[in-house]
Amino acid sequence: MSSDGASLKRTLKYEKGLTRPKDASAPKRPLTAFFQWANENRERIQKECGSANVAEVSKRLGTLWRELAVDDKSGFEDKAKSERETYKTKFVRRSTPVWCGCT
């Protein structure tokens, strides 16, 4: 692998406005099962820790998620899977050009 290619990438300077603009109407990616569970339990864990420190709360959430029983996780995983499928259909529908005649 050439070091010239790597150094060239690092030296490229991008001016403001040269990045691809984000589409405001694009569908948002769905939350994973962990993030859905974490959103429901974050306040409770903050009270247990007695701290608003994001790092401490996140570590505790990760530990509790790993220790959570499979039965408890399955509800969140099913919900995440259905949301992911919905997102995929919306994304495919958006990315297919109207003029191609594809359905």
pLDDT recorded at residue 90: 86
pLDDT recorded at residue 91: 81
Provide the CB-side half-sphere exposure for 44 (13 A, CA): 7
pLDDT recorded at residue 36: 96
pLDDT digits (tens, 9 = 90+) for 6-36: 555 556 565 666 676 777 788 889 999 999 9
| Range scoring the smallest mean pLDDT among 9-13, 37-41, 51-55, 64-68 | 9-13
Dihedrals phi, psi of 100, to nearest 5 degrees: -75, -20
pLDDT recorded at residue 15: 64
